[in-house]
């Protein structure tokens, strides 16, 4: 869902012009950024699923960063930090985008998302498992990428007094190309 997260960030840009695109992109990956050090330390893990290859093959044990409570805490931290630079609205947008990561992961992950950090209480793990139906999960991610590219293009400045902004089309095409490449990398299992 890597590309889908980025597609959502691009889609939101037009509604949050005060927040730089890099911050929107970073916020959609915030849970995975926090996952990195815990993965390196062996606290959280990821491994290929049995007999599975390609798109969505990974099984995660991200019991802290990707627990529902952990995602809410990390999203609140991101939102509060963003509020300092981009105001209350910007902080709300960044916090919401950070939490959107968990919502999108809930759709595609197998049951590997805990409710409480460390799977405290051994509650049922969550995940609708759309990765098990690649055509559906690819279609969902493709829709996020397409919406992101289109809404990002619409968010770019048009120029003054009816004059076209000469960078609008190339910027929109570059964003679309990067989102499509991210989707291709997701589907191919690269990274």
Q: What is the mean pLDDT of residues 33-44?
A: 95
Cα angle, residue 58 at apex, residues 52 and 60 outer, rounded to 5°: 140
How far CA 157 is from CA of 14, 69, 142, 167, in Å, comes to: 10, 38, 25, 9
Which of 3, 11, 5, 9 lies closest to 23 in space, CA to CA?
Answer: 9
% the chain with pLDDT above 70: 90
Q: Answer yes or no: is pLDDT of 23 > 60.
A: yes
Task: Say yes or no to pLDDT of 191 above 60.
Answer: no
Residues 69-96 as b/e (b if ≥16 CB within 10 A, e otherwise) read: ebbeebbeebbebbbeebeeebbebbbb
Average pLDDT over residues 40-50: 87
pTM: 0.85
The 10s digit of each residue's pLDDT in 63-121 is 999 999 999 999 999 999 999 999 999 999 999 999 999 999 999 988 999 999 999 99
Determine the pLDDT at residue 190.
63
Question: Mean pLDDT, the chain, as a whole number?
Answer: 88
Are 31 and 67 a contacting pair, CB within 8 Å?
Answer: no
> Roughly how many angstroms between the first and final C-alpha of the chain, as a whole number?
12
Sign (positive or negative) of CA dihedral 14, 18, 23, 29: negative
Q: Return the bridge partners of 45, or none.
A: 61
Bridge partners for 60 per DSSP? 46
């Amino acid at each position: 869902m890597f590309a889908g997260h980025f597609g959502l960030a691009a889609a939101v840009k037009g509604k949050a012009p005060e927040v730089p695109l890099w911050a929107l992109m970073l916020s959609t990956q915030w849970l995975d950024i926090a996952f990195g050090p815990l993965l390196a330390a062996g606290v959280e893990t990821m491994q290929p699923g049995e007999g599975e290859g390609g798109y969505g093959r990974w099984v995660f044990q991200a019991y802290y960063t990707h627990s529902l409570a952990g995602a809410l805490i990390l999203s609140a931290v991101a939102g509060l930090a963003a509020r300092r630079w981009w105001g209350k609205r910007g902080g709300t947008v960044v916090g919401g985008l950070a939490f959107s990561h968990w919502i999108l992961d809930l759709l595609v992950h197998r049951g590997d998302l805990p409710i409480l950090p460390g799977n405290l209480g051994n509650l049922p793990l969550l995940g609708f498992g759309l990765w098990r139906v690649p055509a559906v999960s690819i279609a969902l991610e493709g829709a996020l990428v397409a919406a992101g590219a289109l809404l990002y293009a619409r968010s770019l400045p048009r120029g003054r007094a009816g004059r076209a902004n000469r960078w609008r089309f190339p910027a929109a095409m570059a964003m679309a190309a990067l989102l499509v490449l991210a989707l291709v990398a997701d589907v191919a299992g690269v990274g």
